[in-house]
Amino acid sequence: MTDPAGAGPQPIRVLIADDHALFRRGLRTVLELDGDIVVVDEADDGFAAVERAEAHVPDVVLMDVRMPRCGGIEACQAIKERVPSARIVMLTMSDEESDLFEAVRAGANGYVLKDVPGDEIAAGIRAVQGGDSLISPSMASKLLAEFAQMRRRGQQMVADHLPRLTDREGEVLALVARGLGNREIGKELFISENTVKSHVRNILEKLQLHTRMEAAMYAVRQNLINPPAAGNG
């Protein structure tokens, strides 16, 4: 994000939603060390997270899954409806597959376990703000396993009703589903990173999806790619 007045890049604005005050304060301290991330506010439950997201319109929301009054997944859905520009990363202790899949369906842009180092969370925020998805490696294998099950179940739409993607958009979608970031896709297809971002935006709009992870799941359902076997690498 660049300052329109030409003063240089603006910091990434982050909202932290977690019911543990000490965790929020510690995370805020770590995130603001480098100066390119600023925490605009904190929330201790899902309702407060939605209210403060509407008030501040943050770039990224770090959201716990388990919170009182209103959980993170419900809050994620509400924020996606009211502040569609916000990217949401679920930051949680829960490694339950059901929570991961519900978060993806709710429109989350990432799913990270709380045991990762703080500097990795900061790097992940930058990646998500740049248009990539973020998922802990231990959860990625579970997502790939779900992809494989979806493929075996043959969950497909009628081909005549599929949105029409261009050949290039189909290539980009297949690479997104393989987990490649924008820069890697650009190198693979010999196009610029900005062109990749444009294709991804068009794909999400045509498919009426919100996130790259949803697009990846769609690609597997439609047999557009062969997902790698879970547990490899």
Q: What is the pLDDT of residues 93-131, one digit of tens each?
A: 877 777 877 887 788 888 888 888 888 889 889 988 888
Contact (Cβ atoms closer than 8 angstroms) between residue 126 and residue 36: yes
What residue ranges do the domains of the chain occupy? 12-139, 154-221
pLDDT at 25 > cutoff 80: yes
Q: What is the pLDDT of residues 199-231, one digit of tens each?
A: 998 988 888 887 787 787 777 666 665 544 434
Question: Model confidence at 28, in pLDDT bands (50, 70, 90)?
Answer: very high
Closest CA to 171 of 183, 189, 157: 189
pLDDT at 137 > cutoff 80: no
pLDDT for 149 equals: 57
Report, at the CATH architecture level, how domain 154-221 is classified.
Answer: Orthogonal Bundle (1.10)
> What's the mean per-residue pLDDT of the chain?
80
Extract the runs of DSSP E, i.e. beta strands, from 10-151: 12-17, 37-43, 60-63, 87-92, 110-113, 134-135
Contact (Cβ atoms closer than 8 angstroms) between residue 122 and residue 30: yes
Q: What is the pLDDT of residues 1-18, one digit of tens each?
A: 555 555 567 899 999 999
Q: Whose structure tokens read 């050949």?
A: 167
Q: What is the pLDDT of residues 83-94, one digit of tens each?
A: 999 999 998 887
* C-alpha distance across the termini of the chain, in Å: 34
152: which residues sit within 8 A by CB, 6+ positions away? none
% residues pLDDT > 70 (the chain)? 78
Q: Are both 12-139 and 154-221 of the same fold? A: no
- Report whether CATH 1.10.510.10 matches the domain 12-139: no
Q: How many CB atoms lie within 10 A of CB 115?
A: 9
89: which residues sit within 8 A by CB, 6+ positions away? 60, 61, 62, 63, 108, 109, 110, 111, 112, 124, 125, 128, 134
Average pLDDT over residues 164-178: 84
